[in-house]
Amino acid sequence: MKFALAGNPNCGKTSFFNFVSGAHERVGNYSGVTVDAKEGTTTFEGYQLNIVDLPGTYSLSAYSPEELYVRKQLVEHTPDIILNVIDSSNLERNLYLTTQLVDMHLSIVCALNMFDETEKRGDKVDYDKLSELFGIPMIPTVFKTGRGVDDLLRMVIKLYEGNEDEESHYRHIHIYHGHEIENGISHIQKYLKTDASLRHRYSTRYLGIKLLEGDKDIEALIKTLPNATEILKARGQAAARVKEETLEDSETAIMDAKYGFIHGALKEASFETGDNKDTYLMTHYLDRAITNKYLGFPIFIAMIWLMFEVTFSLGQYPMDWIESFVGWVGEMVGSSMPEGPLKAMITDGIIGGVGSVIVFLPQILILYFFISFMEDSGYMARAAFIMDKLMHKMGLHGKSFIPLIMGFGCNVPAVMATRTIESHRSRLITMLILPLMSCSARLPIYIMVIGTFFAIQYRSLIMVSLYLIGIFLAVILSRIFASFVVKGEDTPFVMELPPYRFPTWKAIGRHTWEKGKQYLKKMGGIILVASIIVWALGYFPHNEELDNQAQQEQSYIGRIGKTIEPIFTPQGFDWKLDVGLVSGVGAKEIVASTMGVLYSNNDSFSDDQDYNDEDGKYEVLKKQMTSDLKKTYGYSDAEAASKATLTAYCFLLFVLLYFPCIATIAAIKGETGSWKWAGFAAGYTTLLAWVVSALVFQIGSLFI
């Protein structure tokens, strides 16, 4: 048996999905966490249940891609039962979607979820009565703890088997929209019914309602029929009548009628909100400070600052441990293996490459811990709210803010998360500027290069400057895109402020770990492979006679690097840096692992004292990069150090801005459905990177 979860965002669908299927899908305390249909299975009392978790929507109109998506899933994949999850602490709004599901003539079971919060607040509702009025079984549940889940599943099976004992209780009802609209619907239905193939697939009542609402998607469907003109003419007549009689356009009239129905049903079910509004009292208190006109912004900045500060300072300790561990493994392998290509591959290629990236795992876990906490507690939704005004200045919406923040973690899920943005135009612009949000894959390069070239007291400043430059350019470009590139209109929409919830440690731990796991997978996959390739290109053709430096220069990678060197002379990069940049197209961590390989095991510098001197972790990298640059550009001894530092900074700027990675570009293609925008994103970022880093280098060179 197949059943699908439908409901508003943030009502607990994914919690249920995880609870029964044992999955670990993402739950979060803001709308739009689930952006794809997720499938899972479970067995219950001898039945095999296939469950599909759908994105949350407030309605099933055709305004946002999510709404269209859910509708398509419901119509084309015809689940046997729809499980409509309802946040019962917010009945009136949640039931709106239910009325639309009823229009579609589906078999529905309702879960009155968050019943714990309703009870705490002292709300009262006769849910037997309510379920009778809607013609849908309704079961109180708490998906956080699993309360009511068995009853719910039993009801789903009972409905599926069709042997309800209270026969009359669950009949299919029609939401009554008032006689003007109902007449209109029947009028359109008369013409729809003449098409037999249509009648099989859709409820004609549903199509009638949708046509009267002026739904573009359904109109397109009708236009494929032979008697399309007749049907659309009937629609026109009906809509005109409704307008005359209700003085409103039919879309608004239908919405009003639905809310009227809900209001009436709730009255009849003696719905009363309780007096002890404890659950929201806390939220209101907190919001008074957090979304305050004056306090909100400083609090937000403090949060972000705290996030990065803890990430870098606390992360330093485990990073050092992993680093010494990697060093120890390298020595063990180095001393126990015979000389030759295999040893070189393992020590220089694998340990040098993967090892130089894996040390950043703790920092990335800490960063994700903070992001998960902000999401799950409800703070992220507030952050979006606070940023709304600012985002409007960028030609965007507050809602764009959450994907942008997620972009600091990884651009790929962030591109998918733009689905919550109803306005097509804002969504596209958000996707286009997302690559400028410095994702965590770039972190290893920053830490490596900054640690090498800048004194400890300037490191945070340099790091923050990169993030800020990314954000600053995103602001500028989104304004440019909004006025010149992406044309179109905006649809206004509500920004949800879900109640604050203290997230469970289990959930946070899980979200953090899932991200960490992805990171490790990348290590074992693309980064491992890339490290070996880069090593092999540098090792072959092999000539024992030459020293390391000369060997690399005459190797394949040296030749590739030398060929592209002219492209990057305005930035003052040398061929090793260029090779790093090219390899980073697959994933940005590879830039760091490539540098790890290219600058590892250099005979002339590998005497022990270099590793041992204080704060000299990257001393090899610094010495070698400086001497390479000196050789390439003929810097004098006096200017070499400062030139190298400038080049290092420009290199970081380039890494920040250029081509995000293949996965991100593929995600943009997937979400926009066209290579045009994906190609645009890839092209403009690279051009921007080239121009900005060249400008900074050239201008900087005037002063040093």
Do 408 and 437 meet the contact criterion of CB atoms below 8 Å apart?
A: yes
* Closer CB to Mg ion, 13 or 210, in the complex: 13
Site size toward ligand GDP (CB under 6 A) is: 23
14 sits near ligand GDP (criterion: CB under 6 A): yes
* Closer CB to Mg ion, 14 or 141, in the complex: 14
444 sits near ligand GDP (criterion: CB under 6 A): no
3 state SS for 443-476: HHHHHHHHHHHCCHHHHHHHHHHHHHHHHHHHHH
What angle do helix axes 459-480 and 443-453 make, rounded to 10 degrees?
130
Q: Which of 38, 51, 52, 56 binds ligand GDP (CB under 6 A)?
A: 56
Q: What's the min distance (Å) between Cβ of 506 and Mg ion?
A: 17
Q: Which residues contact 530 (CB under 8 A, 6 or more apart)?
A: 353, 583, 586, 587, 590, 593, 594
Q: Which of 6, 27, 83, 238 binds ligand GDP (CB under 6 A)?
A: 27
Q: Which of 66, 67, 103, 116 binds ligand GDP (CB under 6 A)?
A: 116
Q: What's the min distance (Å) between Cβ of 13 and ligand GDP?
A: 3
| C-alpha separations of 13 from 5, 135, 157, 243 in Å | 6, 21, 18, 38
CB-CB neighbours of 288 under 10 Å: 10
34 sits near Mg ion (criterion: CB under 5 A): yes
* Closer CB to ligand GDP, 34 or 626, in the complex: 34
420 sits near Mg ion (criterion: CB under 5 A): no
Q: What's the min distance (Å) between Cβ of 395 and ligand GDP?
A: 28
* Closer CB to Mg ion, 34 or 131, in the complex: 34
Do 217 and 62 meet the contact criterion of CB atoms below 8 Å apart?
A: yes
Phi first, then psi: give them for residue 110, nearest 5 degrees: -105, 135
How far is 625 from 576, CA to CA, in rounded Å?
9
Q: Which of 4, 11, 110, 523 binds ligand GDP (CB under 6 A)?
A: 11
Q: Which of 29, 100, 372, 478 binds ligand GDP (CB under 6 A)?
A: 29
Amino acid at 449: V
* Closer CB to ligand GDP, 12 or 184, in the complex: 12
How far is 681 from 429, CA to CA, in rounded Å?
10
* Closer CB to Mg ion, 293 or 506, in the complex: 506
Q: Which residues contact 577 (CB under 8 A, 6 or more apart)?
A: 568, 595, 625, 647, 651
Q: Which of 63, 127, 143, 519 binds ligand GDP (CB under 6 A)?
A: 143
Q: Which of 28, 398, 407, 558 binds ligand GDP (CB under 6 A)?
A: 28
* Closer CB to ligand GDP, 509 or 524, in the complex: 509
Amino acid at 613: D
* Closer CB to ligand GDP, 444 or 498, in the complex: 498
Q: What's the min distance (Å) between Cβ of 248 and ligand GDP?
A: 32
Do 39 and 50 meet the contact criterion of CB atoms below 8 Å apart?
A: yes
Q: Is 635 helix (H, G, I), strand (E, B) or coil?
A: coil
C-alpha triplet 366, 367, 370: angle, nearest 5°: 90
Q: Which of 348, 376, 496, 628 binds ligand GDP (CB under 6 A)?
A: 376
Instruction: Give me the residue label for tokens 């994702």.
Output: 439
How far is 328 from 349, CA to CA, in rounded Å?
16
> Which of ligand GDP, Mg ion, none interacts with 599 (beta carbon under 5 to 8 A by kind)?
none
Do 138 and 10 meet the contact criterion of CB atoms below 8 Å apart?
A: no
Site string for Mg ion, 9-28 (x = CB under 5 A): ----xx--------------
Q: What is the contact surface with ligand GDP in residues (CB under 6 A)? A: 7, 9-15, 27-29, 33-34, 56, 113-114, 116-117, 142-144, 376, 501
